[in-house]
Amino acid sequence: MNKSLLLYPLILLVFGLGMYVAIQRGSALDTSRITHHASRIAPQTAAMQPSSGVGPSASLLANLRQNFEDPLTRLFVQLILIVLAARVCGSLMHKAGQPAVIGEMIAGILLGPSLMGWLWPGFFQLVFPPASLGTLRMLSQIGVCLFMFVIGMELDVAQLKHQARTAVFVSQVSILFPYLLGVLASLWLFPSLAAPGTTFLAFALFIGISMSITAFPVLARILEERGLTKTALGSTALACAATDDVTAWTVLAFVVAIVKAGGLAPAVLSIVLVLLFVAVMLFWIKPRVPRWLGHAALESSAPGKGIMAAVVVFIFACAFVTDMIGIHALFGSFLAGVAMPSQGELRNSLRVRLEHFSSVFLLPLFFAFTGLRTQIGLLQEPAGWLICLALIAVATVGKLGGSMLAARMTGINWVDSFALGALMNTRGLVELIALNIGYDLGILSPPIFTMLVLMALVTTGMTGPLLGLSDHLRARHALRAKLI
């Protein structure tokens, strides 16, 4: 110990002397090199250099700004702002009795040109320049793929079989009726709000999709928060929403195939290929996954790194296949979730791990990227706001009204039918995913995209108050029956 204490100063001395000699020799090399280059610089160039008036603080600020413009540094700032805004707005909405996802959607809009770009344009352009959005888009797409995988895992096929009659009838009516209203509304919207170069068929099909989607994950969270999951209404709503999701994503896959193929024959080929892929996933891969993973992995509540790596590779491989077919990577991720085994603890463990990571970090990036595309300033004219209100009304009448009438026809009482319609009218994140697909394909213009984003926010926010109204009506009906 004493020897070490004596040797350490000696080592530092040798190190210091060596550094001094090397730097002195290097300085001589610098001097000769600078002299050589200075002789090649024109006198007028030297005259252009500022000789005075720039203090150390100005130089420091210039260096800081230059460092901030580094892509990685800017990405860190973007991530910090996005995650903080999503958590704060989500917490506020949760305290107000609304799903946290509404607050996260609002946070994305607040960070975009609708608020930050309007109040503080200089800072907005500094933090979110157009050249930096490509990285955000890629990260957000990965988050959405993981989210769709979780949705696929949450699909309970046994529950769908148990309530097949009600689920299939209500879900199909809740898609067909608003879809038809959306296509009819497209006759009015297409001339002024379709993106340049798009066809009426593509535009009408996407407007129909935007009217008919139900956000199964948001609906499930609402039922869980209200303690309705195990009730008859809750189980019926989950079955209907799951069937609705499967149908809506199937229709959306066909629509994307038609739009991306650019013709009937390529679209038919894409559809045939995706149907073949679905058949392989459901009837060949899904039965074999439990054997491939092994009994120990299925029953483990903490899967190892090898299992997690295999699952992630499986998700991205399925996403790659559907993207290559010409549908969208999200459909492959969804099918990967459906193909996961339902027995054991593995599914729940994967859901918790992937959902927490994607919902806290990656999905807020998707909301922010959507918010950067949402320009509420485009609706300055009264006509724009009237069209937006009309779209909200058509979407609500089509989805809530269609679901309520279909549920009543299956024998459910009026109050529960109304509550089921309110739940099916929830759109949330799934709607934003579909809208971004339409925007990326060049079908939706910025104004109609903004209107449909606001429609998704309003219809999702309506769910809580409408369920409260149904509870009031149910209690009032029970009291009246008791008095009679």
Q: Express each pLDDT in 18-36 by its tens digit.
A: 888 888 777 777 666 666 5
pTM of the model: 0.76
Distance, CA of 372 to CA of 380 (rounded, Å): 18
Confidence of residue 66 (pLDDT cuts 50, 70, 90): confident
Q: Which of 142-151, 223-232, 428-437, 438-447 bottoms out in mean pLDDT, i.e. has the lowest?
A: 223-232
The total of other beta-carbon atoms located within 10 Å of residue 147's CB is 25
pLDDT at residue 187 in the model: 93
Distance, CA of 153 to CA of 352 (rounded, Å): 11
Distance, CA of 461 to CA of 479 (rounded, Å): 29
The total of other beta-carbon atoms located within 10 Å of residue 209's CB is 24
Q: How many CA atoms lie within 13 A of 108 on its CB side?
A: 27
Q: Which of 45-59, 126-140, 361-375, 399-413 bottoms out in mean pLDDT, i.e. has the lowest?
A: 45-59
Confidence of residue 203 (pLDDT cuts 50, 70, 90): very high
Residues 369-382 have a mean pLDDT of 84
Q: Which of 136-145, 163-172, 259-268 bottoms out in mean pLDDT, i.e. has the lowest?
A: 259-268
pLDDT at residue 34 in the model: 61
In the DSSP assignment, the letter for residue 131 is G
pLDDT at residue 220 in the model: 75
Which residue type, as a one-letter code, is found at position 343?
Answer: Q
Does residue 394 carry a pLDDT above 70?
yes
Average pLDDT of the residues of the chain: 81
Distance, CA of 132 to CA of 111 (rounded, Å): 15
CATH architecture label of 155-358+382-476: Up-down Bundle (1.20)
The burial of 330, by beta-carbon neighbours within 10 Å (0-12 exposed, 13-18 middle, 19 or more buried), is given as: buried
Confidence of residue 37 (pLDDT cuts 50, 70, 90): low
The closest of 408, 395, 459, 416 to 237, measured between CA atoms, is 416
Please, which residues have CB within 8 angstroms of residue 7's CB and are 6 or more apart in sequence?
Answer: none
Contact (Cβ atoms closer than 8 angstroms) between residue 114 and residue 375: yes
pLDDT at residue 180 in the model: 93
pLDDT at residue 330 in the model: 81
Does residue 8 carry a pLDDT above 60?
yes
Distance, CA of 186 to CA of 116 (rounded, Å): 32
pLDDT at residue 392 in the model: 94
Distance, CA of 102 to CA of 107 (rounded, Å): 9
Residues 276-296 have a mean pLDDT of 86
pLDDT at residue 47 in the model: 47
Confidence of residue 164 (pLDDT cuts 50, 70, 90): low
Distance, CA of 68 to CA of 74 (rounded, Å): 6
Angle at CA of residue 177, ends 172 and 181, nearest 5° = 150
Structure tokens that stand for 395 in this block: 């979407």
Residues 329-346 have a mean pLDDT of 82
Does residue 52 carry a pLDDT above 60?
no
Structure tokens that stand for 386 in this block: 């009237």
pLDDT at residue 158 in the model: 59
